[in-house]
């Protein structure tokens, strides 16, 4: 019986997340033990490690990837595509307005693009 790709992807992702959180938990626990702070709950510390992992994935990783891409583009003499400077809510509002007046993916003013 063949395992579906979705289940395989989900288990691999879950294993990677749990391993990363466990490593972060171990590092935080060793730091707290060296500082002499032993009164903190281990379950609370594991929840902190999950929150730290999610912060790294959603905030630090895109920043590092953007810097790497811009450096590579600068070395190769390439120009990166423009990014939308709006938040997700504003993009959704603008897209909904464009459904009524024009093309859905159209942004009619350059102020919506980050240079």
Rounded alpha-carbon distances, angstroms, from residue 64 to 56, 59, 69? 10, 9, 9
pLDDT digits (tens, 9 = 90+) for 84-113: 665 667 767 777 777 777 665 555 554 444
Spans of all domains in the chain: 1-76, 82-115
Whether pTM > 0.75 for this model: the answer is no
Tokens of 1: 């019986």
H or E, element range at 48: helix 42-55
């Amino acid at each position: 019986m063949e395992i579906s790709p979705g289940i395989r992807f989900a288990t691999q992702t879950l294993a990677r997340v749990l391993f990363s959180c466990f490593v972060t938990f171990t590092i935080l626990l060793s730091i707290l033990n060296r500082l002499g702070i032993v009164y903190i709950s281990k379950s609370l510390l594991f929840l902190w490690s999950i929150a730290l992992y999610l912060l790294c994935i959603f905030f630090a990783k895109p920043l590092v990837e953007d810097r790497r891409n811009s450096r590579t583009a600068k070395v190769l003499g390439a120009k990166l595509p423009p990014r939308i400077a709006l938040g997700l809510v504003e993009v959704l509002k603008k897209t909904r307005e464009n459904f009524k007046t024009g093309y859905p993916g159209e942004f009619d003013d350059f102020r919506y693009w980050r240079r």
